[in-house]
Amino acid sequence: MKYTTLGRTGLKVSVFGLGGGGHSRLGKSQDKTEAESVAIVRQALDADVNFIDTAEGYGTEEIVGKAIAGVKRDAVVLSTKKSTDEITPNAVRTSLDASLKRLGTDYIDVYHLHGVAPDDYERLLNDIVPTFEQLRQQGKIRFIGITERFGSDTKHTMLQRALQDNVWDVMMVGFNFLNQSARERVFAATIQQNIGVLVMFAVRRALSDPQRLRDTLSQLIGSGLVDPADLDADEPLKFLQTDSPNLTDAAYRFCIDEPGTHVILSGTGSPDHLRENLEAFTRPPLSPATNQRLKHIFQRVDTISGQ
């Protein structure tokens, strides 16, 4: 397992981060049993993954809590989030206590505001961040994070605003080879400010489902953002096969290579997919030619998330 330092937090984290949300929610969305979901987390821990992301809104904190029950607390880095709908300072305190209980711990490593919409940012900064700071002083949280609503905020409007405030230790950013706009709009500044970056949406649906990929590429060609001459007519991204055994492998490795990214989150409810994805993280970077070609094809895209 490769490790890195999560920006100014100084936390030593595995580059592979297990995602407890997304479409799979550790298998919870696919009707897996709790024991099967707990086994996914344990499988990741056994492969030396130490970064686990969850949220009160995912319903997976309890699963993570059960999976890490026998693990030394400082052997894992826990990231969880407070939903921002109808949020008040009191609701934050109550929610955090409930998250701590479900996770079976007395502190959270990175506590985020979850899925912040651009027009909600100022309110949360003024009304809620002071409470996060108090909780940090009490030792209940170590670092403060923010996650964007990438499904709709595909141009990173909220994070661009957040980068003006010296408040955020960690940002969770939507990034994949289809929409690389975070490179200039977010990573250029997070690198300068030494903010820890967690990548979400590395694969999501468009890069795990071939039909969805075809539909997405047609949409991008239709809107003039991708030049069809850059793609193979029968198999649009066939050139990836020279470097990579499959699309998801290429998608994760593209993100690992990106300067400024620290943890690449990967979500699944399938032990086989988890095994495959862990393997992707052991492979060398994509070749410079493949990396450059992906950058060239999708250089103008900022309108889709790959949802």
Would you say 265 and 17 are in contact if contact means Cβ atoms under 8 Å apart?
yes
- Please indicate whether residue 58 is annotated as part of the active site: yes
Q: Quick one: which of 9, 14, 24, 180 contacts ligand NAP (CB under 6 A)?
A: 24
Pairing verdict, β 12-14 and 16-19 = unpaired
Q: Quick one: which of 203, 206, 250, 256 contacts ligand NAP (CB under 6 A)?
A: 203
Regarding 67 and contact with ligand NAP (CB under 6 A), the answer is no
Regarding 183 and contact with ligand NAP (CB under 6 A), the answer is no
> In this structure, how many other beta carbons lie within 10 angstroms of the beta carbon of residue 137?
8
Which window, 4-12, 89-97, 197-205, 235-243, contacts ligand NAP (CB under 6 A)? 197-205
Q: Residue 204 is which amino acid?
A: R
Q: Quick one: which of 13, 217, 265, 297 contacts ligand NAP (CB under 6 A)?
A: 265
Regarding 156 and contact with ligand NAP (CB under 6 A), the answer is no
Q: Quick one: which of 34, 36, 276, 302 contacts ligand NAP (CB under 6 A)?
A: 276
Q: Quick one: which of 15, 47, 49, 172 contacts ligand NAP (CB under 6 A)?
A: 172
Q: Residue 256 is which amino acid?
A: I
Regarding 248 and contact with ligand NAP (CB under 6 A), the answer is yes
Q: Record the tokens describing residue 256, joined without a space.
A: 């690992």
d(CA 61, CA 77): 13
- Catalytic residue, chosen from 3, 58, 111, 121, is 58
d(CA 276, CA 80): 25
State the nearest-atom distance from the C-beta of 202 to ligand NAP, in Å.
Answer: 5
Nearer to ligand NAP, 52 or 192 (CB): 52
Identify the three-state secondary structure at position 70.
coil
Q: Record the tokens describing residue 297, joined without a space.
A: 């094809």
Which window, 19-27, 38-46, 123-131, 216-224, contacts ligand NAP (CB under 6 A)? 19-27
- Where in 27-120 does DSSP place strands (E)? 51-53, 77-83, 108-116
Regarding 178 and contact with ligand NAP (CB under 6 A), the answer is no
d(CA 21, CA 59): 8
What's the angle, vertex CA 241, arms to CA 240 and CA 245, rounded to 5?
110
Residues of this chain that bind ligand NAP (CB under 6 A): 19-24, 53, 114-115, 147, 149, 172, 200-204, 208, 248, 265-270, 273, 276-277
